[in-house]
């Protein structure tokens, strides 16, 4: 979890100015659901994105 929060802060929070808490919540949710969980490469998956890893697993 510490690694995740460090990544979140580095890639999103430090470069962003949030007007409201709701704005912050929405942008963090979008980052996690649209980028981190789908597109970002993960070392535990052989440096593939989860979407690519799942696509390749269904082909096998």
At 5-50, the pLDDT tens digits run 888 889 888 888 999 999 999 999 998 888 877 778 888 888 998 8
> What is the reported pTM?
0.62
Residues 6 or more apart whose Cβ sits within 8 Å of residue 19: none
**pLDDT number for residue 21:** 95
CA distance 49 to 16: 24
CA distance 9 to 26: 15
**pLDDT number for residue 18:** 92
The closest of 59, 2, 6, 8 to 33, measured between CA atoms, is: 8
Mean pLDDT of all residues in 54-58: 88
**Do 27 and 12 contact (CB within 8 A), yes or no?**
yes
């Amino acid at each position: 979890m510490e690694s995740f929060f460090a990544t979140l802060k580095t890639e999103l929070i430090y470069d962003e100015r949030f007007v409201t808490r709701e704005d912050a919540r929405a942008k963090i949710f979008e980052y996690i659901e649209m980028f981190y969980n789908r597109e970002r490469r993960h070392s535990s998956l052989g440096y593939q994105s989860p979407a690519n890893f799942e696509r390749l697993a269904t082909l096998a």
